[in-house]
Amino acid sequence: MAAEDDTYQTTSLSNMFSTSAFSPEKYVHDLSSVCDTDAELQEHRNQIQALSEDTAIALKKNVYKNYIQFIETSKEISYLEAEMYQLSHLLAEQRALLSAQQELSLFGKQNMNSTNKPLKKEEKASSSIEAVEGLSSILDITDLQCIYEGSLVEIDTHTFQPKQKFHAFLLHDCMVIASSIPNRRGPVRYKFQSLFELENIAVVNVKNSEGVKDAFKILLFPETHIYQTENSQLKTEWLSNIEDSKKNFKLKLEQEVHVTAAPETPPVQKKKSVTSIDLLNPFMNDSDDSFNPFKEDSLNPFLEDADSKSDVTRNPKLYNAKCPNNKLLTPIRQLKIEGATALYITKLSNVFFTSLIETGKEFQKAFAGSSGFCSAFVVWANAELQNFVVRFARQVFHRNIGLTAVGVCVGIASENCEKLNEIGLDLKFSMQHMLLKDLMEALFDCRDQLVAAARQRVTEEHWQPIVHENLTTLMGEMESCGIKGFQSHIIDGGRINLSSATVAFTKSIAGFLEDGLRVNTPELHGVLVDCVADLFKNQVVQFEATLKSSHFSQQRPFILKNASFVLETVLPIVKKKLKRQTGHDPARIAELEQELPRLKSLSYK
């Protein structure tokens, strides 16, 4: 009976609290006037506490129920996505079948120049390329024919170490590089990374003696990419297919130009000239309005002029408008892919910060007499800067971009950010803080690559003086690294009294330090010092292991000379450059100065 009364009282309290007219002050006032003793107040308190616990339990149950429903809905959406993907392929097959039937001639000879039906292998490849996320914004994937596809491993051009595994698609006019998306449900399995136009690249075979096997280079000025296949047969297939595609694409362009320029071309009909503007739609839609130099009104006079002359070749402006590969698609597509990262960041930074400055000036005019609103503008500007940094990081911070390019892009953004001083706004520190995590990852990634390269070089080192082909160039490189008097290390016969691994380490540490100082900030300085110290520590460990090895017992004096060069010549230069940033000696760098006596003691054991 008592339990039923408690339940009834709890229910009544719940109903009373949930009404819109409930007033906490009135409830407390009425309760204090009714309750005469402390026991009654404690009883009401226990009832409210029990109601609170019941409400919390009910909320947890509802959250769990909604979570389960969300998971089930996600599964249904995934299944629906797969069904829609299959349906799109069925529609594509039906469209291809209808197109093939329309091309059939019942009363005449079939046109021999018509495109043959793709092979089953090509149809399968075409379906795979439709599973690349982000490709639809660059290419029209509705009618793509993939000639060849397969997995490739990108190799670092400096360290010859594997960087990342990609899936490549060879089309009739370009080559698409995509990365796999892990743990992705549904048909979309790859993410677009880069695109190479066949007319702008050169493919070079890489000999197996250069540090990697079964690889080839793609030369796209000013960049070089190395991709490795699983075996030599696949490399041969890639090279042959790329060369065939380049030849076929070039031949196709020449045929189009020849057909367009042929004198036997019939006059252009008036009806056709009115609709010829449709020829521009595929690549006008693919471009930005700010880059679009063509307008329909400006093209009509050229089209009418072509009608009167009955020859397209007499009007070069119309010919350029009809050929998307001439002047429009190539520069716009280059802005969308990774080859023009610095140019893209320059345009992006200029547009963003210029717009922010103009907005700030308008804000100052509108609220000239209300200085209290300035904080609201600062908060809004900081939020917009966060959106800019997200887009900036998405374009700059990935494994295909080296630390040097990252430093250039960060410098461009910082230079544009300083323009905000015109309106009395300084967001440079905020931008540096937003980029801190990505810059740390870039430094760590570059450090790991250099460590792996140094270990690989040591395993192949014979610890003998090297013969350099161009001593003048090498001396210039060492001088640019800050090493004066390098000619003292040159001995008779034009040899250098240092190992190839030591020379390579000197160049790499100087380049890493220069790139690191370019992106250095007060928050990032400790990370940069640790990375530099890790590189020197790795080199000391390699010296120590070599000195302890019985295979190089005769070369110990030469090994110690290399260690002395690294720790007594290169290390002070690095230490001086780091001290110039902070005004004090880095502790971890100072600790490395004690390593040379320890290495010398090992050589006497």
Looking at the predicted structure, is the pLDDT value of residue 84 above 50?
yes
Count of C-beta atoms within a 10 Å radius of residue 454: 21
Q: How confident is residue 210, by pLDDT bands cut at 50, 70 and 90?
A: low
pLDDT tops 60 at residue 334: no
Cα gap 90→228, rounded to integer Å? 35
Residue 235 to residue 550: CA distance in whole angstroms: 41
Q: Which two tokens stand for residue 304?
A: 């009418």
Cα–Cα dist 17/458, whole Å: 76
**Cα 288 from Cα 276, distance rounded (Å):** 21
Provide mean pLDDT across the span 180-185: 72
Which three-class secondary structure state does DSSP give residue 140?
A: coil
What is the strand order of the sheet 190-197 is part of? 132-133, 190-197, 174-180, 162-170, 148-155, 223-228, 215-220, 202-206
DSSP 94-108: HHHHHHHHHH--SSS
> Whole-prediction pTM value?
0.46
Residue ranges of alpha helices (H) inside 104-191 are: 120-129
The residues, ordered by sequence, that sit 6+ positions from 533 with a Cβ below 8 Å of its Cβ are: 586, 588, 589, 591, 592
> Residue 202: beta bridge partners?
219
Both tokens assigned to 242: 């790329």
CA 519 to chain centre: 18
| 210: nearest Cα among 186, 192, 224, 226 | 226
CB 503 within 8 A of CB 570: no
Task: Please check whether residue 195 is in contact with residue 337, taking contact to mean a CB–CB distance below 8 angstroms.
Answer: yes
Per-residue pLDDT for 601 more than 60? yes
Rounded Cα distance, 509 and 457, in Å: 14
Q: Is residue 332 predicted with pLDDT exceeding 70?
A: no
Continuous segment of H or E residues that includes residue 467 = strand 466-467
Over residues 188-206, the pLDDT tens digits come to 678 888 888 888 888 888 8
Distance in Å from the first CA to the final CA of the chain: 92
d(CA 137, CA 124): 22
Question: What does the alpha-carbon distance between residue 418 and residue 401 come to, in Å, rounded to a whole number?
Answer: 25
Classified as helix, coil or strand, 132 is strand
**What confidence score (pLDDT) does residue 229 get?**
92
Alpha helices for 161-269 (secondary structure H): 232-261
Q: What is the pLDDT of residues 228-249, one digit of tens each?
A: 998 888 988 999 898 888 888 8
| CA-atom Rg of the chain in angstroms | 35
Q: How many other C-beta atoms can be found within 10 angstroms of the C-beta atom of residue 168?
A: 21
Mean pLDDT, to the nearest integer, of 92-116? Answer: 57
Q: Which is it for strands 162-170 and 148-155: parallel, antiparallel or unpaired?
A: antiparallel
Q: Which of 99-113, 269-283, 489-503 has the lowest mean pLDDT?
A: 269-283
Q: Please give the average per-residue pLDDT across 509-522, as a whole number.
A: 88
Q: For residue range 38-80, what is the model confidence (pLDDT) as tens digits?
A: 787 788 888 888 888 888 888 888 888 888 888 888 888 877 8
* Residue with the larger pLDDT of the pair 448 and 337: 448
Distance, CA of 132 to CA of 130 (rounded, Å)? 5
456: pLDDT confidence band, cut at 50, 70 and 90? confident
Q: Specify the 3-state DSSP secondary structure of 452.
A: helix
- Residues 181, 123 contacting (CB under 8 angstroms): no
- Between strands 132-133 and 190-197, the pairing is parallel
Task: Reply yes or no on whether the pLDDT at 574 is more than 80.
Answer: yes
For β-strands 190-197 and 162-170, DSSP reports them as unpaired
Q: Report the range out of 127-141, 280-294, 318-332, 564-578 with the highest average pLDDT.
A: 564-578
Instruction: Count Cβ neighbours within 10 Å for each residue of 332-367 and write b for 16 or more, e otherwise.
Output: bbbbbbbbebeebbbebbeebbeebbeebeebeeee
pLDDT at 306: 42
Tens digits of per-residue pLDDT, 344-383?
A: 888 888 888 998 898 888 888 888 777 777 888 888 988 9
Instruction: Look up residue 118 and give its DSSP letter.
Output: P
pLDDT given for residue 34 in this prediction:
75
Give per-residue burial for 402-412: e unless 16+ CB within 10 Å, then b. bbebbbbbbeb
Q: How many residues does the chain have?
A: 605
| Distance of alpha carbon 367 from alpha carbon 545, whole angstroms | 69
Specify the range with the lowest mean pLDDT, choosing from 52-61, 432-441, 474-483.
474-483
CA 575-499-154 angle, to 5 degrees, is 85
- Distance in angstroms (rounded) separating the CA atoms of residues 232 and 238: 10
Look up residue 490 and give its DSSP letter: B
Residue among 585, 478, 601 nearest 544 (CA): 601
SS (H, E, C) 55-90: HHHHHHHHHHHHHHHHHHHHHHHHHHHHHHHHHHHH
Residue with tokens 């800050």: 482
